[in-house]
Amino acid sequence: MASPPGRQSPIGFTAHQFIGVLVLVTAIWLSSGTMAPYGATLNTPLVLPPCDYLFNVDHEHFRQTFLMLDGAPKAAWEGSVVLRRILFPMLAYPLMKLTTFEVGGFITSVVIHALTFLCFTWWLRRRVGETGATAGLWLLATYPGITYWAALPYSYACIVPCCLVGFILLSELSDSRASATVLGCSFGLGILFLGYDLLPFFLPPVAAILLFRKQFALLPAAMILLLAPSVIWIYGVLGLLYQVSPLNPNTGLYVTVFRSYISRPDWYGWARLGLRFPLDAIRNYLFSNFLFLPVLFTVFWRYWSRHAGPALSQAERWFLLAILGVFLFNNLAPPYPGVQLRGSYIARIYQPAFVALLVFTARFIEAIKTQSAATWARRALVVTVLLNASVALGLPADNPIAGFVYMQFYRHGDPDSRNLANNFARYGHRPLGVCTPPGPESR
């Protein structure tokens, strides 16, 4: 944790990084096998032999991206709805080919998260200072948003690493007017959009920053670089080369929401949906990032707003506004048929906000380290880290808080917070590498 005011940390920042990486990797491993939350929170997860590890029911969609890269016939993979998210499959392909899809994906995910953790915390130290960076380091090492996804070989493993690197690029772009920096960061963000659907969260901030700085000449080139990797992959490679339509049941959801705005609405139904909006807004804010970090951010932000403290940085402000815009687009839409992007059951959509909350918290801790408020702020930080750790490291002990918080993050399938406990009782607590399935009498 960050040191109390006026006292040096008993160990150096590099040691914090080393211990933090060990905690992070341990948390990922303890969230694998039968304890992978994205599978184990389902009422009926996919159970794969020979070890009866638990996976998500969409497992085949992700495995088909590997088959595509491996040169399998088109019929074996064209049905996947996640072919557009190709960055993680490309990075994981060598190890998947060398081992298996599941093991290779797990190892790749661990490596990517560890390297990103080190790079981001080094950047945070350079940007805000050692005390604040140490606080941010421990919030990241125990963040349940990593352990929810990271142990499974899916493109979701890219969400946290891509958000961390993306926010670094957005921050560097916001601090520099140099053309090379703006365009280089824009292209880097464009590459990250191949990992997950982060374009709606990062493209508007880049555009807003350039517009408010009146760098109009750079705007078209920046937009092209932001969009080019996705356009080339989705419409060039998948569309023209492989004849795979960019529209599928997954991407079609966004089209359905957009059409609801330009169609004649059911006014009564729309009004009824509006009654849910305030509660949905609160639940999405809190549970999109596992409750404890949003609460800590709110406390710190309110304190600074009352004491004329530092405002949100330009990158933080525009990034959070973009996420708010996506939330409003999804939740203020008129009624539409089919799968809904509105409501609090799918709070995970807004997970990328975590990086702005974390960076602001680190800046706050750094800014007040010599003030009287440092003591209570540090205690609040320690409590938050411990609560997060109780979720990220708590699955082997059947921590009920983990079951509740994980389910509120994404209430998919049968939304019952007891799903974790029920699956553990049936399949046991066995991380990847421990392969002793329970006997048939316990099934």
pLDDT at residue 1 is higher than 80: no
Mean pLDDT of 126-155: 97
Q: Which amino acid, 421?
A: A
**Angle (deg, nearest 10), helices 314-331 and 159-175:** 130
Position 5 confidence tier, pLDDT thresholds 50, 70, 90: very low
Q: Dihedral of CA 155/438/405/355: which sign? A: negative
Instruction: Please classify residue 271 by burial: count the beta carbons closer than 10 Å to its beta carbon, then call 0-12 exposed, 13-18 middle and 19+ buried.
Output: exposed
> 419-440 pLDDT, tens per residue?
999 999 999 999 999 998 765 5
Q: For the chain, which residues make up each domain, given as ranges? A: 13-442
pLDDT at residue 7 tops 60: no
pLDDT of residue 4: 43
pLDDT at 415: 75
Lowest mean pLDDT segment, chosen from 1-10, 12-21, 263-272, 420-429: 1-10
Rounded to the nearest integer, the mean pLDDT of the chain is: 94
Q: Read off the pLDDT of each residue in 216-222 and give the average, rounded to a whole number.
A: 97
Q: How far apart are CA 71 and CA 76, in angstroms?
A: 10
Q: What is the mean pLDDT of residues 177-184?
A: 98
Residue 344 in contact with residue 284, Cβ under 8 Å? Answer: yes
State yes or no: pLDDT of 225 exceeds 90.
Answer: yes
d(CA 105, CA 87): 12
pLDDT of residue 2: 47
pLDDT tens-digit readout, 366-405 = 999 988 889 999 999 999 999 999 999 999 999 999 999 9
Q: What is the Rg, in whole angstroms, of the alpha carbon atoms belonging to the chain?
A: 22
Percentage of residues in the chain with pLDDT exceeding 70?
Answer: 96
Q: How far, in Å, CA of 298 to CA of 310, rounded?
A: 14
Is residue 319's pLDDT more than 50?
yes
Q: Mean per-residue pLDDT for 250-267? A: 93
Whether 56 and 152 have beta carbons less than 8 Å apart is answered as: yes
pLDDT above 90: residue 83: yes
pLDDT band at 9 (very low <50, low <70, confident <90, very high): low
